[in-house]
A and B are shown apart, each in its own frame.
Chain A
């Protein structure tokens, strides 16, 4: 089983829709969790951290489910500008983050 797995998509959704992605991780000792956004031909940019209690930032909500070992990202009221690839990242102790391969989102007018 890979350390961090994501559905590659693409997820094609209409403007205004709600969409959710999951990211599963294999190591139960994982401690820190993040979502990054990567636009085409650009660098990954930190979108939000994922805390045990969840995290909300405007239309974006991130959740952690330790029992089932996954994190989720929910985007409400999708905008055209949300079209991007969303990468999850997981950290175990003092080792560097392990990144998923990303889920591609396309928001359609």
Chain B
């Protein structure tokens, strides 16, 4: 099992560009999550999907959109990237409570 996979691993964007971060899990988990992690700020929840077909806002949803494409895949889209979105983005999945994380995407917006 690969667990949770994320693509790309690294990305550099210019302000105003758009991109989609991809996440997939092969553990047949119902719930999936997107976090960002910044120095001194800890993990902050952007959006989550408790089950296929549902999505909910987390703590910091502004500037992001998500799509739960199917049970395996949950994507995060930045429509117009801003320097404040420079961060490390983690996707996670869970069946009950404990979450399992992907390796992360390091995004820099210049």
Contact = CB atoms under 8 A, between A and B. Distances in A.
Contacts of A89: 99
15 contacts: A31-B97, A32-B97, A42-B104, A43-B90, A44-B43, A44-B101, A45-B101, A46-B98, A49-B98, A89-B99, A91-B97, A96-B99, A97-B97, A99-B43, A101-B40
Interface string A31-48: 110100000001111100
A87 B43 CA distance: 10
Interface of A: 31-32, 34, 42-46, 49, 87, 89, 91, 94, 96-97, 99-102
Interface of B: 31, 33, 40-43, 45, 48, 50, 58, 90, 94, 97-104
Contacts, number: 42
Contacts of B94: 97
Contacts of B33: 96
The 7 closest A-B pairs by CB, nearest first: A101-B42, A43-B101, A32-B97, A99-B43, A91-B97, A44-B101, A96-B48
Contacts of A44: 43, 90, 101
Nearest to A44: B101
Contacts of B40: 101
B103 A42 contact: yes
